[in-house]
Amino acid sequence: MPTITCIEDLRLLAKKRVPRMFYDYADSGSWTESTYRANSADFQSIKLRQRVAQNMEGRSTAVKMLGEDVAMPVAIAPTGLTGMQHADGEILTARAAEKFGVPFTLSTMSICSIEAVRAATTRPFWFQLYVMRDRDFIERLIERARAAQCSALVLTLDLQILGQRHKDLKNGLSAPPKPTLANIINLMTKPRWCLSMLGTPNRGFGNIVGHVKGVADMGSLSEWTAQQFDPQLSWADVEWIKKRWGGKLILKGIQDVEDARLAVASGADALIVSNHGGRQLDGAESSIRALPAIVQAVGSQIEVHMDGGIRSGQDVLKAWALGARGCYIGRAFLYGLGALGEAGVTKALQIIHKELDLSMAFGGNRKLSEVTRDILLPRTYPRVD
């Protein structure tokens, strides 16, 4: 086993162990992947100030996200097909997040169901919701999340239609995945993954199969999903969902200041600056570049979070300094999951936390709650005109 020191080490190991179609699903963007790459690259252009002869003793990265105590301002992002990166992936990730002290967000398009994850955890988690044409199903899904005592609902607003993801198209990835000859041959080179999948009953979309009329198995799922994402999604739907949920609501997919103001007007508790990991509109601005303007416009009225491109604790520190009060990791934890299961997710969180803690200390700070954009070198970070 190689020594794991950074998220990139986990990525390389995951690439060896996860079937190509599922690895590519996680590690890709849409069209030319320019936004996907920019999400990470734009973090690298931001530079930190180093301070010396500062008291570094007694440091703490603990803060609150949406009123909940967290070990650091990091949450597990909702990702579809997590249970295909590793058997029981959502359950393993939820356990790792719970033990570490950060929020876990379960996707509507998860492999393990809400109920399965709830049975395996002791603390409330968050649930991510897509708006679909079948409103009766959405209402039942909200009720299931409430019954599972989910402490927040994350409503995704930027997936009314799918971006063109070339790797997924070439790999034949669909819901359910297509068993092409190339995919079968590739599966034969992943015995560890195959054995673990044979040992679990969680191999379908647990929140959908058996909960929708006419969708009793994976074979009948494809037609239903192709018709269900609602291109007519509007702010009226956000209001409808907020009323039915009644709890804390986070809106995911905000990239524009005007939309951020509408998010505030909707009464949501938080918004996530996000371009869906570069998987929707290729050519959109990176999340970290979009963040400052949104923070300036609405940061005093709503809790602003962000995702996209976070691969290190330094990225978390930079986002915090620019006003994000929470960061979501998707690919970073998926690499850990695909590489080493629950232990890999824990390792990813440990890496990010250590990098965050050390970078904060080198900047002369002991408490993350006291960190401001003064830790950043002027003219290296996005400024608001």
Each residue's pLDDT expressed in tens, for the chain with a length of 385 residues: 679 999 999 999 999 999 999 999 999 999 999 999 999 999 999 999 999 999 999 999 999 999 999 999 999 999 999 999 999 999 999 999 999 999 999 999 999 999 999 999 999 999 999 999 999 999 999 999 999 999 999 999 999 898 999 998 888 887 667 778 899 999 999 999 999 999 999 999 999 988 987 776 655 666 677 678 889 999 999 999 999 999 999 999 999 999 999 999 999 999 999 999 999 999 999 999 999 999 999 999 999 999 999 999 999 999 999 999 999 999 999 999 999 999 999 999 999 999 999 999 999 999 999 999 999 999 999 988 7
User: Which pTM does this prediction carry?
Assistant: 0.96
Q: What are phi and psi of 367, to 5 degrees?
A: -125, 130
Burial 55-72 (b: 16+ CB within 10 A, else e): eeeebebebebbebebbb
Q: Is the dihedral of CA 170, 207, 260, 294 positive or negative?
A: negative
Q: What pLDDT is recorded for position 129?
A: 97
Quickly list H helices, the chain: 7-17, 20-26, 34-44, 89-100, 114-120, 135-147, 166-171, 181-187, 191-198, 221-228, 235-245, 257-265, 287-298, 313-321, 331-340, 342-362
Distance in angstroms (rounded) separating the CA atoms of residues 75 and 71: 10
Q: Where are the domains of the chain?
A: 7-375
Positions marked catalytic:
276
Fold entry, domain 7-375:
TIM Barrel (3.20.20)
Q: What are phi and psi of 48, to 5 degrees?
A: -100, 145
What integer pLDDT is reported at residue 218 of this predicted model?
58
Query: What's residue 253's pLDDT?
Result: 98
The model's pLDDT over 328-358, given as tens digits with 9 standing for 90+, comes to 999 999 999 999 999 999 999 999 999 999 9
Distance of alpha carbon 108 from alpha carbon 81, whole angstroms? 10
pLDDT score recorded for residue 297: 98
- Alpha carbon 202 to its chain centroid, in Å, reads 21
Element of type H or E holding 75: strand 74-76
